[in-house]
Structure 1
Amino acid sequence: MSCLVPRDSPGEPSASVASRSKPRRLESGSAAARADLCLRLLVEASSDCAVFTLHADGRVADWNAGGHSLFGGEPSEMVHKPLAALFAPDEQADGLPGRMLDEAMRGGVSTNVAWCNRVDGTRFAARIECRAITGPAGTILGYGCVVRDLTEKRELDRLRAEARKDEGPPHDGAAGTASTALLSMISHEIRTPLTGIKGFTEALALQDLTPLQRRYVELAGASCAALMSVVDDLLDFSALEAGDIDLKEEAFAVAGLAHGALSMVLGTAAPKSLALSLSVAPNVPPTIVGDRGRIRQILLNLLANAVKFTLRGSIRLAITAERGAGGADMLKFAVVDTGIGIPEDRLSRLFNRFSQADASIRDRFGGSGLGLAICKQLVERMGGEIGVETALGHGSTFWFTIRMRRAPVAAAPGAPRLQGGAPPRGVRVLLVDDGRMNQEIARIFLEHAGYDVKVADDGAAALMALEQDTYDIVLMDMQMPGMDGAEATRRIRARGGRFAEMPIVALSARVFSEDVAECLDAGMNGHLAKPFDRAEMVATIERFTAKAA
């Protein structure tokens, strides 16, 4: 695929294209060749959008894999056709394709929202950006077009329009539905490219690298993790504001949770030579009942902040049991650091949303300003309080309490089966995903972990694969053309027998509670969020295949 300049079709050169001299052959290893290759790889990696190149007369010259996914059909069905062929008949009649080329020719770029036609005749709402590709003296050599599917956005606009039609002030339910739909769409759009960035960064880390290359990979991974943290904070805060978070009740080991949280910040504490320690008071019960995931989330936020703002010294996590107001049993967690401390006049704003102790903090250390606000809401949902004791230049102690429920001894969870060892060999995984990038990343992770992996491109292909062979678990993408993950799962379950009990885990960039509920309602056993986390993916497969065995 030519990404820099559109190809001329044989025997049909446009006037402006034919008049230019024949481009020289790029020598292997030249800067121009490397730039062209990089651009090609980037365009092909854009599987969530269609990228077209056009001749100077507006005919399609080439397209990427995303064009095939979005419009269907084969390249031969679209190449050499006019730009208007991408649009629905009413948009063609309105003259939009011609206006877009005129605008791009005059101003360099034209952006519009319009209805497009797939090869099979179905239509979808899309955002289309068209840019002129110019040569010497401003000669138009061709155009580049990027097309993104906006079907979900149009549905959101419909929900908003219905909400506005209601008499009186907007109904909280309708506004909440529209807000959730917007955040779900934003989450999906951000998480989809992040899957590639995070996945291939982790895949690179598995290779033999020079120290400098490994350093670059680590920095890329840290940047990706920071961006994921901001995305997760925004989604969590929105869900809390809408009252859309349900706390789980499960028995877990207090010390085990604390050790796990400390181990997750060890990688960022080690370069600073920070000493990490844990103290658990004798009166703390070994197991309690509560939402282990949310408690760990609060701990990780406080520990990560302590590491971020401590340049030298130590960080200690202390856990004690105490009596709260009304005689309630409370569990108290305190993160004590020797960091920079916080000015007294800044303390009142710490737990407010989008707020940090000092404007310079965001510039120096980053962050969304939502972490502590989320922690505060979660702690209050668990019947506790959160606070801080600090002295500028002498460190801080962030603490929180939660209402404690002791777990019966019989409910104490056993040690996990995997403690850094390899998963059992011979486990067969059917990976169902229409995205080539997702397939490649997941396959790298799974095969590196020792699994036997088979890939299916959509729900129909998954059904066929299950007829022809036996698998221990299915990892099922939710959004696929043709038969999506939910429908494929229902059909698998309808077959009965071994298919009724086969573990099926959703793969989705949609992470709201209603999205997870949709997966479970379809008959799936669990949910894995994109971008993939390699350790979580392996642990999930291990858990479900162990249950099945």
Structure 2
Amino acid sequence: MQETRIRIFLVEDDEIDAMSFERALKKSGFGNYLLKHCKNAPEALETLGREEFDCIFLDYQLPGSDGLELLKRIRVQGVNTPIAVMTSQGDEKIAVEMMKAGAFDYFPKAEVTPENITKIIRSGLRLKESETQKARFEQALKENIDRLNTIVESTNALIFSVDKGLRYTSFNSRFKKTIQKLYNIEPEIGLQAVYDFYLDKDRKAIYDEFKKALEGEHTVITEEFGDPSGVSSYYEFSFNPIIDDEGNVSGVAVYGQDCTKRNKEQLEILESKLEAERTAKAKSEFLSNMSHEIRTPMNAIIGLSELLLKENLTEKQLENMKSIKFSADNLLVIINDILDFSKIESGKVEFESLNFDIFSKVHEIRKTFIFKAEEKGLGLKFEIDEKIPQFLVGDPYRLNQILLNLLSNAVKFTKEGTVSLLVNLISEEEDNIHVEFKVVDTGIGIPKDKLASVFESYTQAYTDITRRFGGTGLGLAITRQLVTMQNGEISLDSEPGVGTTFTVKLKFKKGEIEGVGTPEDMIAELLEKRDFGGMSVLLVEDNVMNQFVACQVLELWNIKVECADNGLEAVKLLEKKDYAIVLMDLQMPAMNGYEATAFIRDKTNKLRNPDIPIIALTADAFPETRKKVLDEGMNDFVTKPLEQNDLYAKIKQHALKSVKA
């Protein structure tokens, strides 16, 4: 069945903001859509007078008219399409006014992202469907107005009707009492007071609804009323044309419902939403900054430790350096656990849907543990069911995190024997596949009475585990959260002194076959001879110590390195010189890594090579950052602290691509 095309209308005078919106829309979850764009209020009103849309995005600041004024004019014009308001400001008062005027959402332009656009459009479509259903209900109410007259006196609603001259033809006692209380006016049948009353300046909107109803339209409006004591009430009025036997409009029937409580709740929800968004954003920024600030010095410590371990050290010096490296690695694990757990607790975890090679992923994970296993004299057994399709669609980063956590625990708690990863096919459907991952060790095991608490935060099986093996007790809690948030299952079976088996079951979609990756023997050959023959690389990094470490590592591989302290210096160098690759830090003064990449990729800036491979060096290890890196035009990323094999493999990979190109 063909997908219905969604019609979207954007009112935005700023070309850059309009392009940002269009880019976000292209990356959203809607494939079949039509985007119409105009730059000012008159053009918008003219367009809405002749075309219908499913959702409207309205800039608050427009030439000659603000968004609130235009919003009101749109509603007066009779356009009931859901309207979301965008602003460069963050004023709660404006937000409340917009919502009162008929907007269904209000958000800063900084939050124009594919995810937010998708969410807002879907909300708008649901609202439109809701309004459509409401309209059907009110149409049925109009057709059954005679039957309604038998119960009007028993309702708390304000119900009345007028003829074409706006003279009362009927009203219930509730309406009469309310009008008397609010305005000291006693309505009477046949009295034209309603005409004079509704011409009052503050009630002009209601008079306009009468006019529309007399022209055959059905309309709904929410109005605020104040009694003599100054207490405000909100009523939602439904205006329904009364059709006579000849099919002509003979008057208007009005149904008014007190919505003061609902309106107050909606305003409170809006205020809570804005506060929650601010809090969530602050938490996310804090976690990202903490990740960067903590991992940046760790990069220098671990990097220098690795370099010193390659020097001609005395036995005592070598022993001390290994202790430093071991402690730094353990500290990094603890830091990562705390940051990951905080991210999960703040509700900021997102999952990707990417095509990836499951066989390559398992092979990469195996390589990660070869050295640690050999160091402890452990066997390492990795098996993957050949019936599993090579390419799956899911979140490879989160899968990697889950398996690394489980395997790290297995290696840590196993003194002798074997650590295994067994990947098996559970079931296969037309588009989906269920996969089981078993991590098996011959380690210390877990008592039966401790199994239930293993996945709890800050918990380990024995009270002395932390002292003996280290760690935060967060790794398995994080793993369980990541599995359950993907609608997966995780379980364990263990026997003290025999070993432990963790079982994870996840569902993936079948992926598309891609070009075959570099074979294992070819990778080994590439990593064996680390000589780039004087290849020129631009390192963009504001931290002097990180520059020092990276330069020493790169120079070991016969790479000529030139450093820039920020993105601004980098683009100036790229205007004058040719480089094979750019290694780009993300958080820098003057011009950050994202801004520098955008400038480089923009061919209108006429740099020498706008397509130069750019590898991000990020101290923010969260998958959301990794996705953003690729979305912003960078080719790859390496996480700080820099792991030399990973950095080398990424440079080699993109250097080879550059040569082939």
Alignment TM-score, normalising by the size of structure 2: 0.53
The superposition leaves residues 161-211 of structure 1 with CA deviations (integer Å, 9 ceiling, x where unpaired) of xxx9x9569833222112112212222221122121111011112222334
Change (3 A) 1:524 1:249: closer
Structure 1 gap ranges (5+)? 1-163
With over 3 angstroms needed to count, the CA separation of the structure-2 counterparts of 1:413 and 1:493, relative to structure 1, is: closer
Aligned to 1:312: 416
Aligned-pair CA distance for 1:391? 1.3
- Partner letter of residue 492 of structure 1? I
Gap runs ≥5 in structure 2: 1-267
The number of residue pairs the alignment matches comes to: 385
Residue 529 to residue 287, structure 1, CA distance change in 2 (3 Å): closer
Paired residues for 1:244-283 under 5 Å: 244-254=349-359, 256-283=360-387
CA distance in 2, matches of 1:514, 1:257: 19
Which residue, 542, 546, 558 being the options, matches 1:450?
A: 558
Distance (Å, rounded) in 2 between the aligned partners of 1:386 and 1:437: 42
* Superposition map of 1:447-486 within 5 A: 447-486=555-594
Answering whether residue 542 of structure 2 is matched by residue 437 of structure 1, we say: no
Question: Which stretch of the first structure deviates more once superposed, 508-517 or 365-374?
Answer: 508-517
For residue 74 of structure 1, what is the aligned residue in structure 2?
A: none
Match of 1:538 in 2: 648
Given that residues 294 and 378 in structure 1 are in contact (C-alpha distance below 8 angstroms), is that contact kept between their aligned partners in structure 2? yes
| CA distance, structure 2, for counterparts of residue 337 and residue 368 of structure 1 | 20
CA change 1:290–1:422 in 2 (3 A) is farther
Match status 1:239 vs 2:343: yes
Which string of whole-angstrom CA distances, capped at 9 and with x for unpartnered residues, describes residues 72-111 of structure 1?
A: xxxxxxxxxxxxxxxxxxxxxxxxxxxxxxxxxxxxxxxx
Residues 574 and 608 in structure 2, CA contact (< 8 A), matched pair in contact too: no
Equivalent-residue separation in structure 2 for 1:312 and 1:286 (angstroms): 33
Aligned to 1:375: 479
Mapped pair 1:194 → 2:292: no
Distance, in Å, in 2 between the alignment partners of 1:510 and 1:284 is 33
Task: Give CA deviations for 1:292-320 in whole Å, capped at 9, x if unaligned.
Answer: 33323222221221121122222232222
User: Quick one: which amino acid aligns to residue 637 of structure 2?
Assistant: H
2:526 is the counterpart of 1:422: no
Q: Which residue of 1 aligns with 2:637?
A: 527
Q: Which residue of structure 1 aligns with residue 620 of structure 2?
A: 510
Partner of residue 235, structure 2: none
- The answer to whether residue 359 in structure 2 is matched with residue 230 in structure 1 is no
What is the distance in 1 between the residues matched to 2:539 and 2:437?
41
Closer, same or farther: CA 487–249 of 1 in aligned 2, 3 Å: closer
By how many angstroms is 1:282 displaced? 4.8
Contact 1:458 1:481 in 2 (8 A): yes
Please state how far the C-alpha of 1:407 moved relative to its aligned partner. Answer: 4.0
For the 8 Å contact 2:458–2:472, the answer to whether it is kept is yes
CA 542–223 in structure 1, closer or farther in 2 if over 3 Å, else same? same
| Matched letter for residue 308 of structure 1 | K
Q: Which amino acid in structure 1 is aligned with residue 350 of structure 2?
A: I
| Partner secondary structure for residue 234 of structure 1 | helix
Q: Do the aligned residues in 1 keep the contact of 2:295 with 2:640 (CA within 8 Å)?
A: yes
Mapping of 1:9-158 within 5 angstroms?
none
2: CA distance, partners of 1:285 / 1:411: 14
Contact 1:313/1:338 (<8 A) preserved: yes
Per the alignment, do residues 227 and 245 of structure 1 end up closer, same or farther by CA in structure 2, a change over 3 Å counting? Answer: farther
Structure 1 residue 347 displacement after superposition: 0.9
Structure 1 residues 404 and 468: alpha-carbon distance in aligned structure 2, compared to 1, 3 A threshold: closer
* Mean Cα deviation higher: 408-417 or 185-194: 408-417
Q: Quick one: higher RCO (CA 8 Å, sep 6+), 1 or 2? A: 1
Cα shift readout 1:350-393 (whole Å, capped 9, x = no counterpart): 11222222222112111121111221122234442111111122
Tell which deviates more after alignment, 504-513 or 432-441.
504-513
In 2, the alpha carbon distance for the partners of 1:335 and 1:519 equals: 31
Q: Which amino acid aligns with 1:443?
A: C
Structure 1, 218-227 or 459-468: larger mean CA deviation? 459-468
Asked if 2 retains the 8 angstrom alpha-carbon contact of 1:429 and 1:452, the reply is: yes
Question: Counterparts of 1:176-187 in structure 2 under 5 Å?
Answer: 176-187=280-291
Q: What does residue range 372-411 of structure 1 map to in structure 2 within 5 Å?
A: 372-409=476-513
Name the SS for the 1:171 alignment partner.
Answer: helix
Q: Tell me, what secondary structure is at the counterpart of 2:493?
A: strand
Residue 346 of structure 1 deviates from its aligned partner by 1.0
CA contact 1:251–1:412 (8 Å) conserved in 2 = no
How far apart, in 2, do the equivalents of 1:268 and 1:429 lie? 31
After superposition, give the CA deviation of every residue in 1:436-494 in whole Å (9 maximum; x if it has no partner).
21111011111112322112233343233223321111122333344443444344344
Distance in 1, Cα, partners of 2:625 & 2:431: 39
Q: Counterparts of 2:567 and 2:514 in 1: how far apart (Å)?
A: 42
CA separation of 1:203 and 1:272: change in aligned 2, threshold 3 A: closer
Q: Cα 1:515–1:300, aligned 2, differ >3 Å: closer, same or farther?
A: closer
Q: State the partner residue of 1:17.
A: none
Secondary structure (helix, strand or coil) at the match of 1:501 reads coil
Confirm or deny: 8 A CA contact 2:568 2:591 kept in the other structure: yes
Residue aligning to 2:310 = 206
Over 3 Å counting, the alpha-carbon distance change for 1:279 and 1:170 in structure 2 is same
- State how far apart, in whole Å, the 2-side matches of 1:451 and 1:518 are: 28
Contact persistence 1:253–1:412 (CA under 8 A): no
Distance 1:195 1:408, change over 3 A: closer
Do the aligned partners of 1:446 and 1:453 also contact (CA within 8 Å) in 2?
Answer: yes
Instruction: Report if aligned partners of 2:419, 2:442 keep a CA contact under 8 Å in 1.
Output: yes
1:175 lines up with 2:251 in the alignment: no
Whether the aligned pair in 1 keeps the contact of 2:414 and 2:444 (CA below 8 Å) is yes
- Which one of the candidate residues 347, 350, 354 is aligned to 2:458? 354
| SS of residue paired to 1:524 | coil
Query: 1:118-162 CA deviation, whole Å, 9 max, x = no partner?
Result: xxxxxxxxxxxxxxxxxxxxxxxxxxxxxxxxxxxxxxxxxxxxx
Contact 2:351 2:395 in 1 (8 A): no
- TM superposition shift of 1:501: 1.0
CA distance in 2, matches of 1:518, 1:278: 32
Judged with a 3 Å threshold, the aligned counterparts in structure 2 of structure 1 residues 316 and 503 are, in CA distance, closer, same or farther, namely closer
Q: Point out the more displaced range, 240-249 or 307-316.
A: 240-249
Q: 2: CA distance between counterparts of 1:467 and 1:337?
A: 55
Q: Structure 2 vs 1, CA of residues 167 and 402 (structure 1 numbering), >3 Å: closer, same or farther?
A: closer
Greater shift after overlay, 320-329 or 466-475?
A: 320-329
Q: Which residue of 2 aligns with 1:500?
A: 610
* Pairwise CA RMSD: 3.1
Going from structure 1 to structure 2, the CA distance change for 1:393 and 1:173 (only over 3 Å counts) comes to same
For 1:359, what is the secondary structure of its paired residue? coil
Contact 1:251 1:413 in 2 (8 A): no
Bigger Rg, which one: 2
Provide the C-alpha distance between the structure 2 equivalents of 1:476 and 1:458, rounded to a whole number of angstroms.
Answer: 9
Query: Structure 1 residues 236, 194: CA separation in 2 closer, same or farther (over 3 Å shift)?
Result: same
Q: How far apart are the structure 1 equivalents of 2:386 and 2:499?
A: 26
